[in-house]
Amino acid sequence: MEKLSASDVIAFLRMLADEMPTHKERLRELDAEIGDGDLGVTIAIGMKAIRDGLPELEGDEPGVILARSGMNFNREAASTFGAIFATALMSAGKHVRGKAEIEVEDLPGMIEAAASGVSARGGARPGEKTILDVLLPMAETLEREVAEGSSLPEAARAAHETCLEALEKTKEMEAKHGRGGWLKEKSVGVQDPGSTAICLMVDCFARFVSGGDQS
């Protein structure tokens, strides 16, 4: 797959919404160590809201589908992660506003837009154990991949590898935001639960654009 049409975006979100709730227990456990343990449930509820909202988005452009899906997630699963994740999808969607298809060249800008949206919304900076710490390295990787002329599946797989490496590095970071922020140095050693969820989503995306084959 070299481009994502509106119906591709809907198909991807459906696959994502089916897959993410299967990681509910793992995310809950991670979040319980340094957060309030609600991330697994938040993702399960929010992803269901995304899935339920998809039929109404048939006919919209890809950017609008992403943005409205973010709103749908946060409506049913209102929470810090809900707001941050919704913001990421809205910012990424806004970046491709007016386009009928998403191409590989759009991806670095979309991830950068998501990162700056998240930063503006929640006030986080790099190195504070948030999803910014996986989004920013992925944006860099994607820029390089585009410059090297990689295909969409190649770029997506490279982004996923970067995401996993960056996720590993969040273990050493001290949380400054949310409930983890109160734990300070006790949060060191645990990988960021939100970033873990993002990596799982990117993995799903990479498989989707590679033709849906299993990882």
Partner 1 sequence: MKKLINDPFEFVDETIEGLLLAYPNHFERCEGSDRALKRADGPVEGKVGIVTGGGSGHIPVFLGYVGPGLLDAVSIGNVFSSPSPDDMLAATKAADSGAGVLHLYGNYSGDKMNFGMAAEMAEMEGIEVQTSLVADDVVSAPVAERDSRRAVAGLMFAYKVAGARADEGASLAEVKEAADLAIFNTRSMGVALSSCTIPAAGEPTFEIADDEMELGMGIHGEPGLRRTKIMSADEVVDEIIANILPDLPFEEGDEVAVLVNGLGATPPEELFIMYRRVVHRLDEAGITIRQRYIGEYATSMEMAGASVSLMKLEGDLPRLLDAPAYSPLLPQWPK
Binding site for partner 1 (CB under 8 A): 63-64, 67-68, 71, 74-75, 78, 83, 86-87, 90-91, 93-94, 97, 117, 120-122
Q: Residue 198's closest CA among 159, 158, 169?
A: 159
Nearer to partner 1, 21 or 62 (CB): 62
**Distance of closest approach, residue 186 Cβ to partner 1, in angstroms:** 24
Nearer to partner 1, 90 or 155 (CB): 90
Nearer to partner 1, 11 or 78 (CB): 78
**Distance of closest approach, residue 56 Cβ to partner 1, in angstroms:** 12
Residue 121, amino acid = R
**Distance of closest approach, residue 98 Cβ to partner 1, in angstroms:** 10
Q: Rounded CA gap, 17 and 20, in Å?
A: 6
Q: How many residues does the chain have?
A: 215
Q: Which residues pair with 5 in a beta bridge?
A: 101
Nearer to partner 1, 65 or 156 (CB): 65
Residue 210, amino acid = S
Nearer to partner 1, 75 or 184 (CB): 75
Q: Rounded CA gap, 7 and 13, in Å?
A: 10
Q: Rounded CA gap, 139 and 108, in Å?
A: 5
Nearer to partner 1, 75 or 171 (CB): 75
Q: Rounded CA gap, 27 and 47, in Å?
A: 14
Q: Which residues pair with 2 in a beta bridge?
A: none
**Distance of closest approach, residue 148 Cβ to partner 1, in angstroms:** 32
**Distance of closest approach, residue 32 Cβ to partner 1, in angstroms:** 24
Structure tokens that stand for 114 in this block: 């998501």
Q: Are residues 189 and 9 in contact, defined by beta-carbon separation less than 8 angstroms?
A: no
**Distance of closest approach, residue 93 Cβ to partner 1, in angstroms:** 7
